[in-house]
Amino acid sequence: MVSARVIKAVIPAAGLGTRFLPATKASPKEMLPLVDKPIIQYVVEEAVAAGIREIIIITGRGKRAIEDHFDVSFELEENLRENGKKVLLKEIQAIADLADFCYVRQRHARGLGHAILCARHLIGDEPFAVLLGDDILDAKAPAIRQMMEIYRRFGGPVVGVQAVPRSEVHQYGIIKAEPMEPDLYRITDLVEKPSPQKAPSNLAVIGRYILTPEIFEALEETTPGKNQEIQLTDALRILARKQSMYGKRVEGVRYDAGDKLGFLKATVEFGLKRPDLGESFRRYLKGLAL
């Protein structure tokens, strides 16, 4: 029997970031800052706020800055200490203490499904969360925690979804589902990036998943799909035929931070919310001749 507690999260961060070139030529897209914090730190903080303590990050070539970010920075800390910058020092030290971090390198860009498979030996026989770094969810209750509650009740894989306009379904995994209760669905099928005509609904997968170890066998069976990559959506599709799977409509505002426009929107919204910057930023925006 698989445990009821989710304490591990996998954060795939091996992608090439082609949607964000040239910024991502030599720097990981996960390290792009929203105001002053790298995108991946928001994602880690969401997992930690949901009670997750072990974070497995799937990296690749050119991604070392991520490991350095979640490590101690001896020289920097010494410098801040000497200069009496206590608040900043505390903030910097807290990043390395957020969780226990573990890194696996995905040697070939073979897709999201393959990236998850790279964590198999670290997961073992436990349920685990997957959080994609492109999706930033600004929510009162951490998005992944909303989904963990469903997992606790029903014990099967949970996929986070939100409704999107039909014109955008081709950018997402889309679920076919039957309503169970408000904001909860039983998933019968999934399609990766369908055309509007072929989409079984407008409920899009938003980069948050609670998975059970059976996903690894399904991933082994999965042949390359869209873009010749091993798609997580295709493995979920195999599983949905064999066991109960749930779609949880997640409350919160989602930003696609891996997309230039989505990133700009998130930057503006997060900037406006900042106690130290919000007011002057608002004044500046209001003064623009739009």
Q: Which long-range contacts (CB under 8 A, 24 or more apart) does 91-98 make?
A: 95/41, 95/69, 95/70, 96/70, 96/71, 96/72, 98/44, 98/45, 98/48, 98/55, 98/70
Q: Is 20 an interacting residue with respect to ligand G1P (CB under 6 A)?
A: no
- Residue linked to tokens 């399609």: 191
Beta carbon of residue 190, minimum distance to ligand G1P (angstroms, whole number) = 8
Say whether the peptide bond before residue 165 is cis (omega within 30 degrees of 0). no
Q: Is 209 an interacting residue with respect to ligand G1P (CB under 6 A)?
A: no
Beta carbon of residue 2, minimum distance to ligand G1P (angstroms, whole number) = 23
Q: Interaction with ligand G1P in 82-101: which residues (CB under 6 A)?
A: none
CB 212 within 8 A of CB 127: yes
Quote the CA–CA distance of 20 and 4 in Å, as a whole number.
38
Q: Is 115 an interacting residue with respect to ligand G1P (CB under 6 A)?
A: no
Beta carbon of residue 222, minimum distance to ligand G1P (angstroms, whole number) = 12
Nearer to ligand G1P, 30 or 134 (CB): 134
Quote the CA–CA distance of 224 and 43 in Å, as a whole number.
27
Nearer to ligand G1P, 28 or 207 (CB): 207
Nearer to ligand G1P, 123 or 204 (CB): 204
Provide the residue count of the chain: 290
Nearer to ligand G1P, 44 or 132 (CB): 132
Q: Which stretch binds ligand G1P (CB under 6 A): 38-46, 68-76, 83-91, 225-233?
A: 225-233
Nearer to ligand G1P, 221 or 279 (CB): 221
Q: Max Cα separation, the chain?
A: 63
Q: Which of 30, 46, 134, 234 binds ligand G1P (CB under 6 A)?
A: 134
Q: Is 255 an interacting residue with respect to ligand G1P (CB under 6 A)?
A: no
Q: Is 132 an interacting residue with respect to ligand G1P (CB under 6 A)?
A: yes
The enclosing H or E element of 184 equals strand 184-192
Please state the separation of Cα 145 from the chain's center in Å.
13
Amino acid letter at 192? E
- Taking residues 185 to 204 in sequence order and writing x for each that binds ligand G1P by CB under 6 A, - otherwise, the string is -------x-----------x
**The pairing of beta strand 54-59 with beta strand 8-12:** parallel
- Taking residues 257 to 276 in sequence order and writing x for each that binds ligand G1P by CB under 6 A, - otherwise, the string is --------------------
Beta carbon of residue 11, minimum distance to ligand G1P (angstroms, whole number) = 13
Quote the CA–CA distance of 238 and 234 in Å, as a whole number.
7
Beta carbon of residue 227, minimum distance to ligand G1P (angstroms, whole number) = 8
CB 160 within 8 A of CB 147: yes
CB 178 within 8 A of CB 188: yes
Q: Is 206 an interacting residue with respect to ligand G1P (CB under 6 A)?
A: yes
What is the CB neighbour count within 10 angstroms for residue 129?
26
Q: Which stretch binds ligand G1P (CB under 6 A): 23-31, 226-234, 241-249, 271-279?
A: 226-234
Sites of contact with ligand G1P (CB under 6 A): 112, 132, 134-135, 172-173, 192, 204-207, 231-233
